[in-house]
Structures are given as C-alpha cells and as structure tokens.
Amino acid sequence: MVKGESLALATPDYILHERQVIKTSFSFTSNPISLPVTQGKILRIDQYAAGGAFDLQALVGGHVIDILLDHPGRSLPNVMGGLNGVLLVDLRYIADQYEGAHTTPALIQQAVTDLFSENSTSKCWLYHPREVEVRKRLQQNLFVVQAGVAWQIEAPTQVKQPQPQILACKMCKSKWLSNPGEPIMCKTCNTHLYVVTGIE
C-alpha cells in the first residue's frame, strides 16, 4: 500500500445457502433457505502484516483477517475452523484491469489499491468466525421447516368423533339418548327398531 494513505479493505457479502428437498404425496419440491454470515463493507485497517501461513494479515480493531492471494495454479490450504476470518483475494483482477504494453508502476500500484480498498467482487470469504453459529441456525431453520412440512404431510386426518344421538322407537314411540358405543335398544319395549331424531 502507499505510505500515508488510509488503509481500507472492501469485503464481500457472505451468505450461506441450503436447498431443502420436501417430499409430498406424489412429488418432490425444493425450498431454498439462506442466512447472511456477514454483509459486504469497507473496513478501516489499523495495520497490514505478513502472516505466516497466509500472505497478509489485516488488523481491524482488535480482530485479525487472514488474507490469501489467489492466482492460477495456486493450491489453497485448508482454513476451516480457525479463530480468524480468511479472505481470498483474486489477483487476476490486476491482470484483467491493467494488462498491456503501457503499464507503469503507478498503474499497477493503483490496481493493487483498488483491489484491496474498493473491489469486493474479486474477493470471497473462505471462512468467517460466525459461520459455525449461522450454519447451526440454518440447520435449525431447515429442521423447523421440515418438521412443519412433515406434520402437514403425515398428520392423521381428524376423524369426527361420534356424538350422542336422540333415538325414537318405531314400536312404542318412546325417545332416549344413545351414547356412542352403547347397544341401541328401546328400554321400554326391548326392540331394535328406531329412528334418529336428533344429535345432542
């Protein structure tokens, strides 16, 4: 970076996406669910330093962002589960913007400054410390949706419970209340001939 200039780092959005497959009676449907881990922003960098296993480390208010500079042919290390966020910066931006016979050191310096401080499309998060927490919330959301859909699909239909009925004997015309499950028989004349005259 150029001495004396304020240091900035443009970071991209980081959103976790899952697709949930829902089985219905005769088909499958897909339901996308997303949760943001972090939103893209321009961070004010307190200091850049060479970073051991990483190409750079940016110190931002007590937090460290490890930076890997990506270029064709480079194999990237496994960076999952660390304490620091890991940002991948694609150096092809510089070649794409300032390739040509009239390239000067000043133009290359401007390309590097633009890449770090303004351009977020040439960067992606390989890991973010909030990723584990957001992934758990995303899985919980998937579980809730799946449970809701499973309930809708697998819940037994409510069978209407039989209600007590008012019966009238065809022989002696007496009436009585018959509860579900009781034998239906006139208590006056002991006959099974009856009609339903109402529901209690």
Mean pLDDT is lowest, of 32-36, 71-75, 110-114, 139-143, for 139-143
Top-ranked range on mean pLDDT: pick from 123-137, 149-163, 181-195: 123-137
CA proximity to 19, closest of 150, 125, 154, 145: 145
The boundaries of the domain holding residue 173 are: 165-199
150, 169: one domain:
no
How far is it, in rounded angstroms, from Cα 178 to Cα 187? 11
Same domain, 110 and 180: no
Pair 145, 171 in one domain: no
- Percent with pLDDT over 90 in the chain: 1
Whether residue 1 lies inside any domain: the answer is no
Return d(Cα 71, Cα 177) in angstroms, integer.
87
Nearest to 131 by CA among 78, 66, 82: 82
Beta strands 85-90; 63-70: pairing state: parallel
pLDDT in tens, 18-32: 776 666 666 667 677
| pLDDT at 191 > cutoff 60 | yes
Question: Do 50 and 24 have their domain in common?
Answer: yes
Residues 97 and 143 in one domain: yes
Q: What is the DSSP track for 107-167?
A: HHHHHHHHHHHT--TTEEEEE-TTHHHHHHHHHHHHHHHHHHHHHHHHSPPPPPPPPPEEE
- Whether 99 is in a domain gets the answer yes
Q: Which residues, in sequence order, are bridge partners of residue 63?
A: 60
Give the count of domains, the chain.
2
User: Closest Cα to residue 179, out of 200, 149, 159?
Assistant: 200
Question: Do 29 and 146 form a contact (C-beta atoms < 8 A)?
Answer: no
> Is 28 contained in some domain?
yes
Pairing of strands 63-70, 123-127: unpaired
Domain check: are 93 and 55 in the same one?
Answer: yes
Query: Is 3 within a domain?
Result: no
Residue 144 pLDDT: 53
Q: 157-172: per-residue pLDDT in tens?
A: 455 667 788 888 888 8
Q: Is residue 160 part of a domain?
A: no
Residue 109: pLDDT band with limits 50, 70, 90: confident
- Assigned domain for 2 exists: no
